[in-house]
Amino acid sequence: MIGVIDYGMGNLGSVVNALRYLEQDVRLIERREEADRCDALILPGVGAFGDCMEHLEAHGFVELIREWVAAGRPLMGICLGLQALFAASEESPGVAGLSLFEGTVKRFDLPADLKVPQIGWNRVEAVQPDCPMFTGIEPNAHFYLVHSFYVDTPDSGLIAGKTNYGIDYCSCIWRDNVFATQFHPEKSQAVGLQMLKNFADWSAGV
C-alpha cells in the first residue's frame, strides 16, 4: 500500500487519483500511526515552505518522515515535498526543513523575459542513467512544473534530473530509498503516470 501524507496542504486529490488509475492500493495518511500499514509514502505539497513545515510538525509527520527514511523505507516527494527534504528555503527564512539532504531552496533570479513562477511544461534530463524512475520514459521528456523556488545542492551525486529555465537546476533527486521531483508527475499525462508506476514498482522491491 502507498500512503499519501495528508498534512492539510498539497495536491492530494490528483496524486491519489493518478495512483488509483494505475490500480495501486493507496490511502491518505492523516495520522502518523496510519503509516504502519504502508509500504511506501508520498509527500506531496503546494504552497509555502514555512507553512509546509508548520503543518508537518503539527500533524506529527516530521519525525515520521525522518524515521521512515532512516529505516530504508521508500519515500517520494513532489514539488514542495522535494524542497522540504532540505535544510532551509529562502521563501521562509529561519524555518528548518527536514534536513535529510545537504542544500537549500533558492528563489529564481532570472532575466526579465523569464516569468517567475515557472508555469508549464519543460524538459527533464535524466542524469543518473540507472535511476529506475525513468524506466520507459523517453530522454528529455516534458513534465509539468509550477514553482518559484528550486533546490540548490552541493551534492551533484544526489541529482537524478535537471531542467533548464534560465539556469540549469535540479528538478529531481534520487538516493537509496528516497526519490523526489520538483515537477508534478500526477499532472504530466502519460510520462508522469509512467513515473508513478515506476515508483510503485520500485517500492515493492526496496
- Cell numbers 521562509 correspond to 92
Active site residue 79: yes
d(CA 83, CA 70): 18
Q: Which of 145, 115, 162, 148 is nearest to 48 (CA)?
A: 148
CA distance 135 to 116: 31
Indicate which residue of 79, 91, 170, 172 is catalytic. 79
180: cell is 523526489
* Residue 23 falls in the annotated catalytic set: no
Q: Which three cell numbers stand for residue 194?
A: 509512467
Q: Residues 79, 91: contact at Cβ < 8 Å?
A: no
Active-site residue, 186 included: yes
Q: Which of 55, 170, 172, 186 is catalytic?
A: 186
Hey, which residues are catalytic here? 79, 184, 186
